[in-house]
Amino acid sequence: MELRPLSDPLGDPFFDAVRRRHPDVDVVVLPPAPPPVPPDSLETVGDDEVAATLIRVATLARQLWASAARESAETPEARFAYGTGPGAVRAAARVTTRRDDGFHVLVAIRHELETDGWEVTRPPGVVERIVAHLDDLTVSASYAEGAGALLFELSSASLPVGEARARELTHPSGGDR
């Protein structure tokens, strides 16, 4: 970034007038932001990588859930959700259930994650929560003791697939909600 002496004009009539009228005020003019990249020009990942990511997330979520909630009838349901930015999706596997032993399941999930090398944190708050990261994967689990509600979700990083393909993957029946 180029720094100019205070006496030099900025080249913008508005800011030049502000500087003349208020010499005691520092005026900082940032360069213009680069134009946004059109979504269609981004490189997209192929169908094989998208499918492999969903399988990987579903398999790992089932393994973690089975080892932490051994007597559970529920299993994680894997699907695609919108990712960050237009035309991106992420694979996510989720279980939502009500359990009396939810806190113990949360502790077991944390133990499994730490044993497997995940970076686990416990965000502060009223609801017991853990968030864990490993490579491009994220686990989020929480337990609300009063309601007995337990939520477990494992998700991948966003995959650029294009806007039309993202709609197809997140709404497999073809209908919009």
Break the chain into its structural domains and give their ranges: 44-170
pLDDT tens by residue, 95-123: 999 988 999 999 999 999 999 999 999 99
In percent, the amount of the chain with pLDDT more than 70 equals 88
Give dist(CA 32, CA 50) in Å, integer: 36
| Banded model confidence at residue 12, pLDDT cuts 50, 70, 90 | confident
pLDDT tens by residue, 49-101: 999 999 999 999 999 999 999 888 899 999 999 998 888 999 999 999 998 89
Side chain identity at residue 51, one-letter code:
A
Q: What pLDDT is recorded for position 37?
A: 59
Side chain identity at residue 140, one-letter code:
S
| Integer angstrom CA distances of residue 97 from 14, 82, 102, 171 | 59, 23, 9, 24
**What is the 8-class DSSP label of residue 73?**
S
pLDDT tens by residue, 24-40: 887 777 777 777 656 55
Greater confidence, 176 or 137? 137
Q: What pLDDT is recorded for position 28?
A: 75
| Banded model confidence at residue 2, pLDDT cuts 50, 70, 90 | low
Mean pLDDT of the chain: 87
Euclidean distance between the first and the last CA atom of the chain, given in angstroms as a whole number: 47
| Banded model confidence at residue 156, pLDDT cuts 50, 70, 90 | very high
**pLDDT exceeds cutoff 70 at 176:** no
Report helix, strand and coil shares of the chain as percent, to nearest 5: 30, 25, 45
Smallest Cα–Cα separation from 76: which of 88, 91, 58, 90?
Answer: 58
